[in-house]
Chains A and B, each alone.
Chain A
Amino acid sequence: MSTMDFFTAMEVSASGLSAERTRMNVAASNLANAQTTQAAGGGPYKRRDVVMQSVDVPGVQGTPFAQAVKGVAVSQISQDTAQPRLEYDPGHPQANAQGYVAYPNVNPVEEMVDMITASRAYEAGITTMTTAVNMAERALGIGR
């Protein structure tokens, strides 16, 4: 796509949108599992965190600016190693010998903040995209 350098900004924004969508998914997972005491592999659910990584933008390799312009991608979804929250509830089936139940290390307030951040970042990405599209449309309208 030699003629379409306008698409570079769109590609970068699109990668950001995908990354924010993943972050939203992770926040939803953490919120939904805030009370999960039995996760796969035993123990309570562990809070997930996204790790972002800058990546080359597809389609701009070979141009002088290929190294300068970067998209973003989620490189991995890590598990928070913080200790689980212990609550005293001897009647709970997952209670230990002392009567404590290990609840996930998820703080719903923190997750809400993450969610809103992801939502705002998504909006910012959409705004970038819209601006890039508007610029392309303006360029197509030169002389008209």
Chain B
Amino acid sequence: MSIAPITPPMSPELAGITGVTGIERPTAKPDLAGTFRAALEDAHGAEHRATDAAEQFARGDTGMGIHEVVIASEKANIAIRYATTLKNKALEAYRELMNTQV
């Protein structure tokens, strides 16, 4: 008894396809660590500016209005949440990979 070898699909549309060409691998890898570091530095700077603004306002600095203080702290809030969101997404992806069933 002989076993028939496995043959490629014989549909006429697929007959000419031999491989996939034209796709290039990205040479520069997107660097998650770099992005996260930049976000953290942004958040750090924004938080510093918010603290400075609050201090200047408390000292009675004439150039510092209420809205500047509130805006600075709101910016810090957004920057910190951006960094946190990046961290959460990265962790989520990592956990997803670690839970891969093999």
Contact = CB atoms under 8 A, between A and B. Distances in A.
A3 B38 contact: yes
Contact of B42 (A4, A18, A133, A140): A4
Nearest to A13: B71
A6 B39 contact: no
B67 A14 contact: yes
Interface in A122-137: 126, 129, 133, 136-137
B81 interface: yes
B73 to A, nearest CB: 11
Contacts of B75: 4, 7, 10
A48 interface: no
Interface in B22-68: 35, 38-39, 42, 45, 65, 67-68
Interface size class for chain A?
A: 10 to 19
A73 interface: no
B71 A140 contact: no
B37 to A, nearest CB: 11
Contacts of B67: 14, 17-18, 21, 126
B90 interface: no
A6 B42 contact: no
A21 B85 CA distance: 35
A82 interface: no
- Kindly list the 4 A-B residue pairs having the minimum CB-CB distance in the complex, ordered from nearest: A17-B67, A136-B78, A140-B85, A14-B71
